[in-house]
Amino acid sequence: MKHQDKAVATAADQASSAETEHAAVADVPPADDAEQHGFDRGEVGAPVWTGDESTAIAVDSTGTTTVLTADTPAPVGDIADAEPIEDEIDADVSEPEVADEFEKPAAPADPAEELTESAEPVVEPPLERTTATPASERPASGFDESTPLARELAEITRRRQLLSSQDLPLPTKTRIFTVANQKGGVGKTTTTVNLAAALARTGARVLVIDLDPQGNASTALGVEHRSETPSVYEVIINDLPMASVVQKSPEFEALYCIPATIHLAGAEIELVSLVAREQRLRSALETFLEESDDAFHYVFIDCPPSLGLLTINAFVAANEVLIPIQCEYYALEGLSQLLNNIQLIERHLNPTLNVSTILLTMYDARTNLANQVVQDVREHFPNEVLQTLIPRSVRISEAPSYGQSVISYDTNSPGSLSYLEAAAEIARRGAPN
């Protein structure tokens, strides 16, 4: 991407859309409804898949739980005890006694009240009853799509089916991504870990280099990174070969990680006095990739939230930059500074560097602000932004505490599907020329 002449949205643009956000989110149902109903890990309205992939339990905004299967729309209950609800409803509808279910309240005992009522007759609205769509009329997904919850479930099913029907191309040359944004907390680590896991799941050999002293990527991939563990610090500062510090992630067969320990916090200062201080990661990575028995298809380098020497080492070692942008106020602030730095690296240290990918993260469709950010970013970076948006999702944020990516933690959740879709988009697009 030639980014130098691209304007980024102004804070004023964002501020105007920010005013509407509060009103938009005010209608959102309380998130802990689900917890009251025993779904402590669930999100309101989001289906929770059971072990059997064709069955899900969902909680709607009123806290009502529903069991949905590919064959039968059913109310909540023990799945094993579930009756064929559809037959029951159909039978009820055809029988006249169904009206008993909607009996009007008993007449008041007090005759005075009766008089008042008869003087001013109350017009009651007609009673409505919804019936299940017959199986023959249901869409291909197999779900009755007559409710928003069922429609959402059907959509998830469609996405899963589409993903599983795709064979992703593997790159012929290792694609090395630096995941960078000097803004903190925008989803760099989450994106690194989940894209790496998503690609490893589809058969690619993937290496994650944790270049952040916080060691969050190491945690999320379930690899050891206590202070005494040999890590990327020893690679950069003491010239230890990467092969002696790399660990296999328990997440997926072909997923590896070079961990970061707390020692890396001092590396920024120690690097200053070292020879070829900007090239140290590149040299180590080149040697590692050349000497690996099996070629790696992807390398993702997770950067700290700064533009210091560690991030510069990552830019010099990579071919592509992936910038996660959070769909929030201030999202684009600092982006021009980041692009300017990349341009300097490209000019002086790594002519092959290319900002190939921008991923919008923590998208919340209910806010006008998020939609405004998406629109702005797509307008300014039409070729780089992935079509896939990563939604704000509880599953994504809680997966690292189990030492897992969301891909293995809750494969069928909307957040996991989005990262799988983003990975598929990256694989299909291929490396930029």
Give the shortest CB-129-to-ligand ATP separation in angstroms: 39
Please say which residue, 200 or 422, places its beta carbon nearer to ligand ATP: 422
Q: Report what 185 binds from ligand ATP, Mg ion, none; CB cut-off 5-8 Å by kind.
A: ligand ATP
Among 45, 305, 334, 432, the residue binding ligand ATP under the rule CB under 6 A is 305
Q: Which is nearer to ligand ATP, 72 or 182 (CB)?
A: 182
Closest distance of CB 391 from ligand ATP, Å: 6
Q: Which of 327, 390, 407, 422 binds ligand ATP (CB under 6 A)?
A: 390
Burial (CB count <10 Å: 0-12, 13-18, 19+), residue 107: exposed
**Which residue number, 67 or 407, has a Cβ lying nearer to ligand ATP?**
407
Nearer to Mg ion, 244 or 306 (CB): 306
Q: Which does 186 bind (CB under 5 to 8 A by kind): Mg ion, ligand ATP, none?
A: ligand ATP
Tell me the per-residue interface mask from 214 to 253 with ligand ATP, x by CB under 6 A, - otherwise. x-x-------------------------------------
User: Radius of gyration (Cα) for the chain, nearest Å?
Assistant: 27
- Burial string for 325-345 (b: 16+ CB within 10 Å, else e) reads bbbbbebbeebeebbebbbeb
**Stretch of 215-223, 284-292, 327-335, 421-429 contacting Mg ion, by CB under 5 A:** 215-223
The structure tokens 């932004």 sit at: 385
Of the candidates 188, 280, 297, 392, which one interacts with Mg ion according to CB under 5 A? Answer: 188
Can residue 364 be called a binding residue for ligand ATP (CB under 6 A)? no
Q: In terms of CB distance, is 231 or 393 closer to ligand ATP? A: 393
Minimum CB separation from Mg ion for residue 188, in Å? 5
Give me the least distance between CB of 218 and Mg ion, in Å please: 11
Provide the mask over 180-199, with x wherever binding to ligand ATP is found by CB under 6 A and - wherever it is not. Answer: ----xxxxxxx---------
d(CA 232, CA 237) in angstroms, rounded, equals: 8
Q: Which residue is nearest to Mg ion (CB)?
A: 189
**Distance in Å, CB of 341 to Mg ion, minimum:** 18
Q: Tokens for 229?
A: 């563990």
* Listed ranges 24-32, 73-81, 114-122, 209-217: which one lies at the site for ligand ATP (CB under 6 A): 209-217
Q: Which does 343 bind (CB under 5 to 8 A by kind): ligand ATP, Mg ion, none?
A: none
Q: What is the rounded CA–CA span in Å between residue 6 and residue 9?
A: 10
Q: Please, which residue, 154 or 396, has the CB nearer to ligand ATP? A: 396
As a three-state string, the secondary structure of the chain is CCCCCCCCCCHHHHHHHHHHHHHHHHCCCCCCHHHHCCCCCCCCCCCEECCCCCEEEEECCCCCEEEEECCCEEECCCHHHCCCHHHHHHHHHHCHHHHHHHCCCCCCCCHHHHHHHHHCCCCCCCCCCCCCCCHHHCCCCCCCCCCHHHHHHHHHHHHHHHHHCCCCCCCCCCEEEEECCCCCCCCHHHHHHHHHHHHHHCCCCEEEEECCCCCHHHHHCCCCCCCCCCCHHHHHHHCCCHHHCCEECCCCCCEEEECCCHHHHHHHHHHHCCCCCCCHHHHHHHHHHHHCCCCCCEEEEECCCCCCHHHHHHHHHCCEEEEEEECCCCCCCCHHHHHHHHHHHHHHCCCCCEEEEEEEEEECCCCHHHHHHHHHHHHHCCCCEEEEEEECCHHHHHHHHHCCCHHHHCCCCHHHHHHHHHHHHHHHHCCCC
Per rule CB under 6 A, count of chain residues that contact ligand ATP = 19
Q: Which of 55, 182, 189, 311 binds Mg ion (CB under 5 A)?
A: 189
Residue ranges in 88-117 that form contacts with ligand ATP under rule CB under 6 A = none
**Least distance from C-beta 185 to ligand ATP, angstroms?**
4
Residue 392 site contact among Mg ion, ligand ATP, none (CB < 5 to 8 Å, cut-off depends on kind): ligand ATP
- The residue among 260 and 424 lying less far from Mg ion, judged by its C-beta, is 260
Binding mask 392-411 toward ligand ATP (x if CB under 6 A, else -) reads xx--xx--------------
- What burial letters (b/e) apply to 1-22, b meaning 16+ CB within 10 Å? bebeeeebbeeeebeebbeebe
**Binding partner of 201, given Mg ion, ligand ATP, none, CB within 5-8 angstroms per partner class:** none
Among 21, 210, 212, 278, binds ligand ATP (CB under 6 A): 212
Residue type, 384: E
Contact residues for Mg ion (CB under 5 A)?
A: 188-189, 216
Site of interaction with ligand ATP (CB under 6 A): 184-190, 212, 214, 216, 305, 361-362, 390, 392-393, 396-397, 415
